[in-house]
Structure formats: structure tokens, C-alpha cells
């Protein structure tokens, strides 16, 4: 069913692209203080083609989950959650109204939290909480942007115009996109989300959750680029993210974390393209990256299932003779990730890097971007060499099987990872400035790819690649594994501040403060004190007055709560 929907949407997207046509459907639900509440759907070429890509990946992931989750007693619940996840992403793609956009935006956040904690253990719960709390920052930013957009009289993304609060609105939307796409300094949740089952990771880290922020900025770009500082800030953040993710991936041995960090690096490339004033190239790279990254996760899930759910690269090896289909798919996906010529990643990544060279931006930013390209090639080749051609290092208990539930998705995704780059370049009009550059600049991207491959191959021959690259330098290795200490900074201060808040503010100021004074215990004390002061003022020290006061106190204990509260309120007001 999903495959047929994907094919239909691909055909519809090509038709809309050929006619340069967008379809907008609008329903007015109510008018609130002259502000109409509308539900809108937009079918434009970018959204329809990307929606078709999401459905194609979801279909292959669901087919793969039949094998990977075959022993799960709650497979039906898992399937429903995955479909809710995909539905939320489709709502985010096709809804151009900022208010209604929250359906898809919050739907992604809620379902991603449920899927990350699918394996019910403390580690998964911690990862889910980090994911949820980081994404809640973006949700708050979206709500603030909605409030600031109210003065325009509508929330339609396509019709927004400059206002005095333009800079603040653009900043809120940019922070929301950076939190959802795990840009600096909100990057720590993305590797933590690897606690989810591998089919979920194939969706989350390819075409749904992490690309939602990129897609939001692409949708808002005609409005965002009106802010003078938007492009420079986004470019700086994205280059830092690319560089940090590349360094961190070279020191990892966990297979899923390496793939997650490669996703983070490619998200930096997409954000960099938006910062370079070219959202069309960002869309191009987002579509190509979604396909080969989903393929890489499916291959990783096959390896994890075969190796007793172990994820350490150093356990694996000799895959070429045991799982030929899986090893071929890993090679295709990794070469596309590196940007090897004529595969999917080459057409988009090479174009973005050439555009950056001719843009006249900071030399340091350009150097860090090309170093990130070299790091990407390094850990991709390291991944392939350790898994495919290194000696067998795992336990004898090993089951190298390939079923139709894994081979069919691998073959379909591999085919798309090979042809999607050239196909999109032919059908998608990418308008850029003429790229006039010397030959040395033209071959710089290919040169960095070759340098990364040679360094990785050399270290493999020297038998030192099995250890982390910077393992001997403990502080540097720890900093890289902790993503430049972002993991520590994103968790410990939040925990300490929450405990401090709960102790000082809630306990001392609430439970032992206002709550104690304004609830039953405090009001009763005030009432008894008021009665005592009244007796003292009237000098009623006779036995009759004492009996009356004690009777009033006894009556207070035995009356109903409502009567007690009313008497206490009267006594407190008199006091």
C-alpha cells in the first residue's frame, strides 16, 4: 500500500514540477477575534516529492521490521506507532499553516519519545527523556513564533511579510529547526535516540524526525532570509555541527552511533546549504541522503540481528563471504555517503561544496567544511573495512542469514541510492550562480574524499584502526566521544537545576511556605489565633467564655470540610 502511494506521489510531484504548479486547499473552521482559524493543505513539487520519499522509505522499513521484530510480542503496537510517526511527518510536510503545523510537529515529538523508550529499560528511558526535553525547546519556540505572528492576522507560512518583530520571529523559528535537526548546541539527543529499535532509527535518522527541522526552515525560508543575520548564524552553527560530528564519529566503535553521527554531519550540510542562500540544494541533498541513510540503517539492523544484537564494529568481519547482499548494500550506502562520483550523494554534496567555495564566506568556515568531508570519508571507509574485509572476531554463535524481508528492501534502496542523484538533477531545476572557479578548487572536494580514503586504508593496514583514533589521548578521546562535552552539558545541569528547583522553590517556598499557610492547617491555626485575640480584646476570661471557645474549636474539628473552610476564611479575613 505504501509503495503504491509512493509511486502515485512521485508521478504527481513530477507533474506539478513540469507544470510549475502548486495546489492550495483551505477550510475555514471559525473566526476568532477577526483572526480566521483555517485548516490548509499545500501540494507543491518539493513537498509531494519528499512525501513520496518518506512513504517509500517507510514501506521498506516496515518490510524489514517483519524480520527484525519477528520475536517481539507487541509487533502490532510497534507497527501502529511507526505509522503514527509517518503520519505526523506527512502532516508536517503538507500543512502550511503555522498553527495547524503543530499537529505534525508535536506528533513527531510524542511518537518519537514513545518509540525511543520502546525497549523498557532505564537507558532507553534516559535517552527518551533527553530526546523529549530537547525537542520541547523547539516546541516552545514554535509557540512563541505563533504568538508573534498573530499581529499579521493569519498563520499561513506562504504569505508572511516583514514586521517590527521580524528578527525575533526568525530567531524563534531558527532555534526550533535547530533543536529538531540536532544542530549545535542541541546535538546530544540524536545519538541517544539510538536506543530505539533499528527500524525506527532507519526512519528517524533518514527522512522523518531529524529532517523536520530542515524542512521547516526550507518552508519558512522566503520569510527567514529577510532577517539580515539569519544566513550567517545558520552557516556558523551548521559548519560547527559538521565538524564536531565528523571528529566524534572517528572515535566511535558503536555501529549505530557512527551512523547517527554521520546523519548529524549530513544535517549540517543541509543547514549549510540553507545558510548559503540555496534551499533548493538543501532539498536535493535531503532527498538523496534519506535514501542511502535508510539503506545503511537497514544493513546495520541485519548485522545487529545476526550478531546476537551486538553493535560493536570490532566484533564483526568477513561479511563479504557470509552476507553478500548486505555487504554490497553497505558499500553502495557508504560510497554514496562519502560523495563518490555518480552515486546519490555526489551530485548534491559536491554542488554544495563548490557553491561554498565561490560564495566568499570565511576561509575558516570553508576549511572546517572540507575537513568534515574528509572525516566523513574516513569513518565510512573504516566502517566498511572493519565489517566487510576484516577477520572474523565475534563468538562462534553466529547466524549469517539473509531473508526476503531484508533482501527486497536492500535491493530497492540500493537501486534508488544509485540513480536518485542523477534523476533528481535532471528533473529538479536548481538555480545557482555560475560556478566559475580554477581547476584546483574544482577538484578540492574529490581530493578530500581521496585523502580520507587513503588515511583510513593506511590505518587499517597498520592494524590501529580497531582502536579509537585518539584513544591514547584520554581527554581528547573523551571529549570526542561526549560530542565536545555536549552530552554532559545537556544532561547534568538540567538534572541539578531541576533538583535545586524542586528543593528550594517547591519545598521551602510552597510546601513549607504559602501552601502551609493557605491550606487547612494554616487557616485553622489562623482561626484559633483570631479567636484567642478576640477573647483577649473583649476580656472574656470567665469560665463561660473558655467553655464557648473550646466548644467552637471542637465544633471546627467535627464539621464538614466546606463549613470548616468557610469559617476559616471568615476568621482569616477578620484577622
Geometric angle at alpha carbon 126, from 307 and 302, rounded to 5°:
20
Helix, strand, or coil (residue 519): coil
Q: CB of 217 within 8 A of CB of 174?
A: yes
Rounded Cα–Cα distance for residues 64 and 405 (Å): 5
Rounded Cα–Cα distance for residues 79 and 87 (Å): 12
Confidence at residue 572, expressed as pLDDT on a 0 to 100 scale: 42
Rounded Cα–Cα distance for residues 39 and 538 (Å): 69
Residue 57 C-beta-side C-alpha neighbours within 13 Å: 34
Q: Is the pLDDT of residue 495 over 60?
A: no
Phi-psi category of 277—alpha, beta or left, where left has phi over 0 and alpha has psi -120 to 50?
left
| Residue 166 confidence class, pLDDT cut points 50, 70, 90 | confident
| Residue 398 confidence class, pLDDT cut points 50, 70, 90 | low
Confidence at residue 159, expressed as pLDDT on a 0 to 100 scale: 76
**Contact partners, residue 71, CB within 8 Å, separation at least 6:** none
For the chain, the C-alpha Rg in angstroms (whole number) is: 30
Between the two ends of the chain, the Cα-to-Cα distance in Å is 73
Alpha-carbon separation of residue 218 from 39, 41, 210, 245 (angstroms): 20, 17, 14, 22
In whole numbers, what is the pLDDT of the chain averaged over residues? 78
Residue 156 has φ and ψ, to the nearest 5°, of -80, 125
Helix, strand, or coil (residue 23): strand
Pairing status of strand 23-32 against strand 35-43 = antiparallel
> Which stretch, 134-143, 147-156, 203-212, 549-558, has highest mean pLDDT?
134-143
pTM value > 0.85: no
Torsion sign across C-alpha atoms 369, 370, 375, 381: positive
144 vs 402, more confident? 144
Q: Is the pLDDT of residue 150 over 50?
A: yes
Residue 471 has φ and ψ, to the nearest 5°, of -65, -30
96 vs 490, more confident? 96
306 vs 462, more confident? 306
Q: What is the per-residue pLDDT across 22-42, written as a single tens digit (0 to 9) for each?
A: 888 888 877 776 667 778 888
Nearest alpha carbon to residue 97 among 28, 33, 168: 28
185 prior amide bond cis, ω within 30: yes
Residue 137 has φ and ψ, to the nearest 5°, of -60, -45
Q: Is the pLDDT of residue 119 over 80?
A: yes
Helix, strand, or coil (residue 465): coil
Rounded Cα–Cα distance for residues 414 and 521 (Å): 70
| Residue 102 confidence class, pLDDT cut points 50, 70, 90 | confident
| Residue 95 confidence class, pLDDT cut points 50, 70, 90 | confident
Beta bridge pairs of residue 564: none
Q: What is the per-residue pLDDT across 405-448, written as a single tens digit (0 to 9) for each?
A: 888 888 888 898 888 888 888 877 666 566 777 787 788 888 88
> Which stretch, 114-128, 259-273, 495-509, 516-530, has highest mean pLDDT?
259-273
Rounded Cα–Cα distance for residues 84 and 79 (Å): 9
Rounded Cα–Cα distance for residues 442 and 439 (Å): 5
Phi-psi category of 121—alpha, beta or left, where left has phi over 0 and alpha has psi -120 to 50?
beta
Amino acid at each position: 500500500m505504501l509503495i503504491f502511494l509512493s509511486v502515485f506521489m512521485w508521478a504527481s510531484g513530477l507533474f506539478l514540477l513540469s507544470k510549475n504548479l502548486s495546489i492550495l486547499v483551505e477550510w475555514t473552521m471559525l473566526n476568532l477575534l477577526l483572526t480566521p482559524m483555517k485548516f490548509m493543505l499545500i501540494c507543491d513539487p518539493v513537498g509531494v516529492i519528499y512525501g513520496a520519499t518518506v512513504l517509500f522509505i517507510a514501506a521498506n522499513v516496515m518490510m524489514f521490521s517483519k524480520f527484525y521484530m519477528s520475536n517481539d510480542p507487541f509487533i502490532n503496537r510497534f507497527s501502529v506507532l511507526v505509522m503514527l510517526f509517518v503520519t505526523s511527518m506527512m502532516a508536517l510536510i503538507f500543512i502550511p499553516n503555522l498553527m495547524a503545523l503543530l499537529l505534525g510537529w508535536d506528533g513527531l515529538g510524542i511518537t518519537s519519545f514513545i518509540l525511543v523508550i520502546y525497549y523498557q529499560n532505564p537507558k532507553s528511558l534516559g535517552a527518551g527523556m533527553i530526546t523529549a526535553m530537547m525537542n520541547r525547546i523547539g516546541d516552545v519556540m514554535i509557540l512563541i513564533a505563533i504568538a508573534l505572528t498573530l499581529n499579521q492576522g493569519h498563520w499561513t507560512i506562504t504569505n508572511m511579510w516583514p514586521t517590527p518583530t521580524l528578527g525575533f520571529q526568525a530567531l524563534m523559528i531558527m532555534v526550533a529547526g535547530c533543536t529538531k535537526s540536532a544542530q549545535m548546541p542541541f546535538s546530544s539527543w540524536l545519538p541517544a535516540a539510538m536506543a530505539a529499535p533499528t527500524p525506527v532509527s532507519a526512519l528517524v535518522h533518514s527522512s522523518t524526525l531529524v529532517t523536520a527541522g530542515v524542512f521547516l526552515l526550507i518552508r519558512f525560508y522566503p520569510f527567514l532570509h529577510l532577517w539580515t543575520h539569519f544566513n550567517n548564524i545558520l552557516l556558523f552553527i551548521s559548519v560547527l555541527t559538521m565538524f564536531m560530528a565528523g571528529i566524534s564519529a572517528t572515535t566511535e566503535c558503536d555501529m549505530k552511533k557512527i551512523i547517527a553521527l554521520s546523519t548529524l554531519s549530513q544535517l549540517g550540510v543541509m543547514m549549510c546549504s540553507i545558510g548559503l542562500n540555496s534551499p533548493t540544494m538543501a532539498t536535493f541533498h535531503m532527498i538523496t541522503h534519506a535514501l542511502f541513510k535508510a539503506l545503511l540503517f537497514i544493513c546495520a539492523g541485519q548485522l545487529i540481528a545476526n550478531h546476537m544484537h551486538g553493535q560493536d564494529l570490532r566484533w564483526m568481519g568477513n561479511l563479504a563471504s557470509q552476507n553478500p547482499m548486505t555487504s554490497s548494500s553497505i558499500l553502495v550506502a557508504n560510497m554514496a555517503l562519502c560523495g563518490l562520483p555518480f552515486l546519490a550523494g555526489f551530485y548534491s554534496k559536491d554542488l554544495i561544496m563548490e557553491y561554498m567555495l565561490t560564495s566568499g564566506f570565511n576561509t575558516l568556515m570553508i576549511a572546517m567544511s572540507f575537513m568534515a568531508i574528509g572525516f566523513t570519508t574516513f569513518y565510512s571507509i573504516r566502517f566498511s573495512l572493519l565489517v566487510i574485509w576484516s577477520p572474523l572476531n565475534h563468538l562462534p554463535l553466529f547466524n549469517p542469514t539473509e531473508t526476503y524481508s531484508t533482501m527486497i528492501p536492500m535491493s530497492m534502496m540500493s537501486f534508488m541510492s544509485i540513480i536518485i542523484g542523477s534523476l533528481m538533477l535532471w528533473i529538479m531545476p536548481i538555480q545557482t550562480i555560475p560556478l566559475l572557479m580554477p581547476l584546483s578548487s574544482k577538484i578540492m572536494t574529490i581530493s578530500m574524499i581521496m585523502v580520507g580514503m587513503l588515511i583510513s586504508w593506511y590505518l587499517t593496514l597498520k592494524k590501529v584502526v580497531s582502536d579509537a583514533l585518539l584513544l591514547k589521548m584520554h581527554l581528547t578521546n573523551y571529549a570526542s566521544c561526549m560530542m565536545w562535552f555536549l552530552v554532559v552539558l545537556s544532561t547534568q545541569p538540567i538534572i541539578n537545576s531541576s533538583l535545586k528547583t524542586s528543593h528550594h522553590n517547591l519545598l521551602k517556598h510552597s510546601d513549607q511556605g504559602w501552601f502551609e499557610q493557605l491550606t487547612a492547617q494554616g487557616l485553622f491555626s489562623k482561626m484559633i489565633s483570631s479567636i484567642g485575640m478576640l477573647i483577649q480584646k473583649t476580656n472574656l476570661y470567665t469560665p463561660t467564655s473558655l467553655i464557648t471557645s473550646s466548644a467552637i474549636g471542637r465544633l471546627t474539628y467535627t464539621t464538614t470540610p466546606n463549613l470548616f473552610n468557610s469559617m476559616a476564611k471568615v476568621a482569616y479575613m477578620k484577622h
